[in-house]
Amino acid sequence: MLTVRKLGKNKNDLKKFIELAFEIYKDDDKWVAPLKSDMMKMLIGDNNPLIKNGEHAYYMVFDDDKPIARIMVGIDEVLNKSTGKKHGYFALFECFNNLEAASMVFDAAYDWIKERNMDKMVGPVSPTSGDDSKGVLVKGFDGPPVLLNSYNQPYYIDLYEKCGFTKYEDHLAYIFKKEDILANKELVNRVEKIVERIKDRYNITVDRIDLKQEDREVKAITRIFQEGVPDEWDYTTPMTEHSVRDELNNLKSFYTNRFCFIARANGRPVGFVIGLPDYNQVLIKMKGKLFPTGVFKYLFGRKNINGARIFVQFVIKEYQNKGVNNAMFYEVYKDFMELGYDFMEGSTVGERNLRPINAVENMGGKLYRIYREYQKDIQ
């Protein structure tokens, strides 16, 4: 008999929440298990901006005592206040291929949101208000996900649609392959000339993000984000120095002083880009555990990483369309070539963000994966 239960926010209940995914994907060689210790910290709320932004809850469906579905549900009060909307979110949905269980756990989330007088449920969102585990993979099931991206079986699409969800927005992933870059020397030369020209014209410098100067870098990134969000965006939680610091803390364990840059014009921060090596290539071997052997797999495996993910690139409005993106991308490109990587992924770009989409495609990026957020109106 199937039953749905609201979990307590204690380690015993949250352990069940975490372990479910390990059961669902235990025979799937493309799934990358999260580190259980990091997952527990995130669910409890350590360095988690989303949980700090409002009330949340966890639900699971059990078949007798066997967990078969889960969901995180909440209200991002900061986002709602900023956008004037009344949305509830859900995240971290996982389910065996069982429509009844999916319907039950979605209904529990729906009722929780309705009780709080919201008018729409949207998800799966990032469980940290970042760029991790966002959306459902609907295109590109050809291999493991790149660092912090979602992964699921194709049947998830069917579960969402049969439970009454419709598309809210797609988030796009583009891939740059080394062989394509090497075959397009004309493009690289053109970008290099553009970079030289705009650096001279606007007195642009591009420096690596220096975590030893964390306060300075946090202030710079926050300012760039606040001044760079397009007017047409209505779904991004306003960034504060506190939330930026939380995000940087979440990424520190992967930081290698590569692919992360801040552009300055006459010393003023005007743009930033953040990317990381694809540590999923190591994590997939660790099976969610650092000990007893995971730490050694991490230390030795990271030397063999052959790809990277570029998460986000922002330029303040005053300097958009002036080549600052090119200047930062060129530095990323130099890191990529110096490390001898085979591929670089740019993700996830909202489908409404036409300017960065055009920029990525003009630089040779090819769309290869799509992650979808769904919605359901609250009646």
2-173 sits in which CATH class? alpha beta
Question: Architecture of domain 175-368 in CATH?
Answer: 3-Layer(aba) Sandwich (3.40)
Same fold, 2-173 and 175-368: yes
Q: At what angle do helices 324-339 and 185-202 cross, to 10 degrees?
A: 130
Reported as type and span, the H/E element at residue 193 is: helix 185-202
In this prediction, what percent of the chain has a pLDDT beyond 90?
67
Is residue 173 within 8 Å of 345, Cβ to Cβ? yes
pLDDT digits (tens, 9 = 90+) for 281-298: 999 988 777 655 555 455
Coil, strand or helix: which one is 334? helix
Spans of all domains in the chain? 2-173, 175-368
What is the pTM (predicted TM-score) of this model? Answer: 0.91
Residues with Cβ within 8 Å of 345's Cβ and at least 6 positions away in sequence, in order, are: 146, 173, 174, 175, 176, 278, 307, 308, 309, 310
Residues with Cβ within 8 Å of 231's Cβ and at least 6 positions away in sequence, in order, are: none
Give me the amino acid identity at 84: G
pLDDT of the residue at 300: 54
Number of other residues whose CB lies within 10 A of the CB of residue 154: 11
State which of 265-269, 288-292, 363-367 shows the largest mean pLDDT: 265-269
- How many residues comprise the chain? 379
Distances (CA, A) of 330 to 173, 187, 273, 304, 346: 19, 11, 11, 23, 14
CA 60, 166, 99, 126 torsion-angle sign = negative
pLDDT band at 130 (very low <50, low <70, confident <90, very high): confident
Question: What values do phi and psi take at 286, rounded to 5?
Answer: -90, -15
